[in-house]
Structure 1
Amino acid sequence: MTRGRRAYLGDPMLYAFDEGPDNGAYYEDYGDQGTSGRIFVSDEDWNSPNLAWTWCLDSDTPNASIECFIQAWNCPLRTYNQDREVLWRPQAYSGLPSYTIQILSNLDVKADFAHIDDLAGFLVKTIDPPEVSENKELNFISDHISSNEIAALLEKYSHREVEKSIMPLEAMRRVWKNKEEVPEDLKRKTRPDLRGNGQDVFAFSYCEDVKTSPAYGRYISLSVSLSLLSGANALVRPDGVGRLPALGWNTWNAFGCDIDASKVLTAAEETINLGLKDAGYEYINIDDCWSVKSGRDPNTKRIIPDSAKFPDGISGVASKIHDLGLKVGIYSSAGTETCAGYPASLGYEKIDAESFAEWGIDYLKYDNCGVPTNWTDTYTHCVPDNSNGSKFPNGTCPDISNPAPTAYDWSSSNTAQRYNAMRDALLGVNRTILYSLCEWGQADVNTWGNGTGNSWRTTGDITPDWSRIVEIANENSFLMNYADFWGYPDPDMLEVGNGNLTLEENRAHFALWAAMKSPLIIGTALDSINEEHLAILKNKPLLSFHQDPVIGRPAYPYKWGYNPDWTFDPAHPAEYWSGPSSTLGGTLVLMFNSEDSAKHRTAVWSEIPELKDSAEKGSGYRVTEIWTGEDLGCVKDQYDVELQSHDIAALVVGESC
């Protein structure tokens, strides 16, 4: 990317390419000032039969540097500086729309994506830090996506008001390589509506292959108001809590109601001793049954911790956990009673939030039991949560009673209001408390959960049974587009180390949960965990992918394997997954055997979205096996492995070779 010097124009400008000296090409300003600059493009790229744009934007000060870039989709285009050094080559995803973007105000900020949600996440990151209260303008070119879609995605991921303006599509025209062939009426387009000053705007591209489905670039200017939308504070906090999925331990799967301070503190100490804290696990969470069952304090109306279980109260346990450098969580429910029949928080949200903050709580798991009839929802939402696949053909609920009308806004439901009440109470205390919604996927929580909490349960409870684990994995696999920074669908806590799961099943369970960027909350007794299960929970590459500070999206299924793609099957979830990782320096690839006997599984590089472009050109990749850490060397075309029943292969596919 090069920068030229020119006179002040004031408006965003598009420039046509023409053949220039040095076997390159240059952009020329057709405006009144008649100045020009140069971007060098190779002969190979110059002759490319694909569509691209050059876009130049002046700053608001005279004689400022022009900021120019070339924009391409599925186009082998490179940009060079005057020393012929390659500055940027967008990656193309053959067969998929590729969203390649560069922010005009900062030429160092550029990226390309195969998924539209990733594009939105990238744009959101350009307007960080999120806690700043100011307006910012984001100018960029996009294609295959409307301004309304971009605005909606930005609001979804940034939780901010978005105002947009867009240059009409009529302003975008095909461009000829020879400027003499450009019709006079296309050389100048006055767009006084951009800034009201009547300056000239040009819209040209230089590639020719636009015969079947012409692509039109869109100059989009989005004014993003950083004042937070109502209720979005629960997601975007100044201290970063909730930006990444949680890592921790919880009492329930191991002990149920049989809990006390000793067991909780033992788990905290073992988190240190076993190296789990060093691996990133930080929350020690007390689930149900921590209070007295008889009711609240008659004077203060506070929930009373059970002194027989917690002689020093919850605050005493929290203090000791904090002294270990860990955080502590607590449990309640958005009803009048918890699932085990203890006092819950509906109607007492402010009092309980104040108690939790006073005790030093850092995490709240908020369940969905004890809901009185006046707080139930008017309509029923489809949650296809049952091992009987015939009851939910391809994830639908044909027999659902009282379904909601089309386009019903579930954020107005009683369920959403019950959870919002606790969100608001937590935001009102002088302590940051991560908010984990446990409402079992009801009330279409995926459409409003990330405006209420940091994670939200998508199904009913997990059990240490293989059939239940794959059933939940299947359901959650269809919700991956909802996961990103500040909000994560939650398929429930881990059962690694529990029940009669085989080693392979434990491994597959953890790998899928980590790849989906689900909260990873350990649910086994740490003082008796075996080395194999501990090694699974501490797997560095999977935890590194899970906690990626740059890429928020999880891995996505790219092929179902056992079933045709997009099949909803409680016994056989999607078997092939991939996701980009800045921390691994490559792509995470999973191959899963959902069958009851040993089977071969093959990862074909040209089928994987993140690898497809280079693979089709014959590139191999350096591959590392995640479970053993073995360097598999340069692997061409594909990688085949035999997997035992219910096992999973996990790979890091790195640089091309």
Structure 2
Amino acid sequence: MWPLAMATRIVIQLLLCAALCCLPSPHAHGLNNGLGLTPPMGWNSWNFFGCKISEQLIQEMADALVTSGLADIGYTYVNIDDCWASHRDNEGNLVADKKSFPSGIKFLADKIHAKGLKIGIYSDAGILTCQRRPGSLYHELQDAQIFASWDIDYLKYDNCFNLGIQPQNRYPSMAVALNKTNRPIYFSICEWGQNDPAKWAGEIGNSWRTTDDIKDKWQSIVTIADINNQWAAYAGPGAWNDPDMLEVGNGGMTFNEYRAHFSIWCLMKAPLLIGCDVRNMTSETFEILSNVEAIAVNQDILGVQGSKVSKQGSGECLEVWAGPLSGSRVAVALWNRCSYGNNITASWGDVGIVSDSPMIVRDLWEHRFLSGSFIGNLTMYVESHDCKLLIFIPEEQKLYYGEQ
């Protein structure tokens, strides 16, 4: 566990650097709830469990977040996805499935909150959810009030059975309803990117899905990253592009591929919602999910989504992604999508650094500084389907990081 302790020290140093640079505090421009100034972090039931959920399972996942230490480094939302509800009662109130949630959602919320965590729930901007449970279309005020009465902290709001009504005419109703509860509930719009939500959802929700559902496959990660990338300019504190939940640890990809997946999601300021069984994760899965140096890129107070800045090689499958961080730093990912290892070069002009600026470079997966300083460009060898995640730091700041 010593790399986690060491990386925690680095995060403290990064925060110190930001403070020394006298950065202004950001202001949310999304839903009027003050939430999401940095992308949310937590766990969601869907990717691994689908409809096979219960109050016992959710409590066990919350326990695993705490005992593993993942909760301490930011994974605080425990989100129930589809299949928790069974019907509406005679007064129109949503009722939890008695077989799976016999004690009710309020009981479960109290248990989750007692662990120092937050709880999320799922509904749909249609008459039914995707698994044909009751949706919230035309029940927005009633459902928002009952979510608030259960002390819900997060709402994922899907897009099935929507009667063909434009999303711009459905999602705002729930945003208004959530505001009226006077309880801060993070609003996650899951419109699948069909109507370019980046253009309109920033004043409605705290985040919005930009793509179809993610799959535990390499090509899914590549495709989703490219789609999400085109909307980078629309993201910021309080309102984030959402390329869907993490697949790290679900078994369909290699360690290198999962590391690349996590690196790019961190750089893109995506919500970091774990989608695996955290009770039984491997040491490699924990190593990826607990990398607080990578997480610090995702949670950086500047809140600028990194993006693709160059493509290299004969097949253009060698890529450089980059984005500014607080403290005049730059996050850089060297992403090898090729089927073979190769060198990738980050040029200062591509990543947004003045050409003659000397930089020191931190490798966030090796948890070390590269030897010396660099001017103009940096070239590193990257294995197939792997990714180097780096921070470029002005040389004059090296004393803040313990560099002599």
Q: TM (normalized to structure 1)?
A: 0.55
Per-residue displacement from partner, 1:609-633 (whole Å, max 9, x unpaired)?
1x2x2xx33x432212110112212
Cross-structure match for 1:410 = none
Which of 630, 634, 646 matches 2:368?
Answer: 630
Q: Does 1:582 align with 2:334?
A: no
Shift of the alpha carbon at 1:606? Answer: 4.5
CA contact (8 A) 1:621 1:655 kept: yes
Cross-structure match for 1:418 = 170
Shift of the alpha carbon at 1:602? Answer: 1.9
The one-letter code matched in structure 1 to 2:367 is G
Cross-structure match for 2:261 = 509
Q: Does 1:297 align with 2:96?
A: no
Number of residue-to-residue matches in the alignment? 376
The one-letter code matched in structure 2 to 1:297 is D
CA contact (8 A) 2:257 2:386 kept: yes
Per-residue displacement from partner, 1:1-53 (whole Å, max 9, x unpaired)?
xxxxxxxxxxxxxxxxxxxxxxxxxxxxxxxxxxxxxxxxxxxxxxxxxxxxx
CA contact (8 A) 1:476 1:489 kept: yes
SS in 2 for 1:633: coil
* Structural mapping, 1:483-498, within 5 Å: 483-498=235-250
Cross-structure match for 1:593 = 336
Which of 370, 394, 404 matches 1:655?
Answer: 394
Which of 138, 156, 161 matches 1:347?
Answer: 138
SS in 1 for 2:284: helix
Shift of the alpha carbon at 1:315? Answer: 0.8
Which of 235, 258, 273 matches 2:67?
Answer: 273
* Structural mapping, 1:126-275, within 5 Å: 158=29, 234=31, 236-237=32-33, 240-275=34-69
CA contact (8 A) 1:248 1:281 kept: yes
Cross-structure match for 1:524 = 276
CA contact (8 A) 2:242 2:270 kept: yes
Aligned-residue sequence identity (percent) comes to 39
Give the distance between the partners of 2:261 and 2:249, measured in 1 at CA.
11
The one-letter code matched in structure 2 to 1:281 is Y
Give the distance between the partners of 1:371 and 1:556, measured in 2 at CA.
32
Identify if the C-alpha distance between structure 1 residues 588 and 580 changes in structure 2 by more than 3 Å, giving closer, same or farther.
same
Give the distance between the partners of 1:359 and 1:563, measured in 2 at CA.
56
* Structural mapping, 1:420-459, within 5 Å: 420-459=172-211
The one-letter code matched in structure 2 to 1:590 is A
The one-letter code matched in structure 2 to 1:512 is I
Cross-structure match for 1:397 = none
Q: Does 1:543 align with 2:295?
A: yes
Per-residue displacement from partner, 1:97-135 (whole Å, max 9, x unpaired)?
xxxxxxxxxxxx999xxxxxxxxxx7xx6xx7x6xxxxx
Give the distance between the partners of 2:70 and 2:267, measured in 1 at CA.
19
Give the distance between the partners of 1:564 and 1:541, measured in 2 at CA.
31
Give the distance between the partners of 2:276 and 2:22, measured in 1 at CA.
43
Cross-structure match for 1:364 = 155
Q: Does 1:474 align with 2:226?
A: yes
Give the distance between the partners of 1:310 and 1:527, measured in 2 at CA.
20
- RMSD after superposition: 2.2
CA contact (8 A) 2:304 2:325 kept: no
Q: Does 1:552 align with 2:346?
A: no
Cross-structure match for 2:216 = 464
SS in 1 for 2:250: coil
Identify if the C-alpha distance between structure 1 residues 110 and 537 changes in structure 2 by more than 3 Å, giving closer, same or farther.
closer
Give the distance between the partners of 1:632 and 1:593, measured in 2 at CA.
20
Q: TM (normalized to structure 2)?
A: 0.88
SS in 2 for 1:439: coil
* Over 4 Å off, 4+ runs: 562-565
CA contact (8 A) 1:353 1:426 kept: yes
CA contact (8 A) 2:333 2:388 kept: yes
Shift of the alpha carbon at 1:562? Answer: 4.6
CA contact (8 A) 1:441 1:460 kept: yes
Cross-structure match for 1:226 = none
Name whichever structure is richer in helix by fraction. Answer: 2
User: Which deviates further from its counterpart, 498-507 or 319-328?
Assistant: 498-507
Cross-structure match for 1:283 = 77
SS in 2 for 1:464: coil
Cross-structure match for 1:307 = 98
Identify if the C-alpha distance between structure 1 residues 521 and 110 changes in structure 2 by more than 3 Å, giving closer, same or farther.
closer
Per-residue displacement from partner, 1:330-381 (whole Å, max 9, x unpaired)?
00100011001111100111111111111110000000001124x2xxxxxx
Please identify the structure whose Cα radius of gyration is greater.
1
The one-letter code matched in structure 1 to 2:111 is K
CA contact (8 A) 1:558 1:577 kept: yes
Give the distance between the partners of 2:243 and 2:326, measured in 1 at CA.
24
SS in 2 for 1:575: strand
Identify if the C-alpha distance between structure 1 residues 563 and 269 changes in structure 2 by more than 3 Å, giving closer, same or farther.
farther
SS in 2 for 1:443: coil
Structure 1: 5+ residue stretches without partners:
1-108, 112-121, 131-156, 159-231, 376-413, 566-571
CA contact (8 A) 1:510 1:536 kept: yes
Give the distance between the partners of 1:484 and 1:371, measured in 2 at CA.
28
Shift of the alpha carbon at 1:601? Answer: 1.2
The one-letter code matched in structure 1 to 2:231 is L
Cross-structure match for 1:44 = none
Structure 2: 5+ residue stretches without partners:
1-20, 397-404
Give the distance between the partners of 2:314 and 2:129, measured in 1 at CA.
39
Shift of the alpha carbon at 1:257? Answer: 0.2
Higher relative contact order (CA 8 A, sep 6+): 2
CA contact (8 A) 1:465 1:499 kept: no
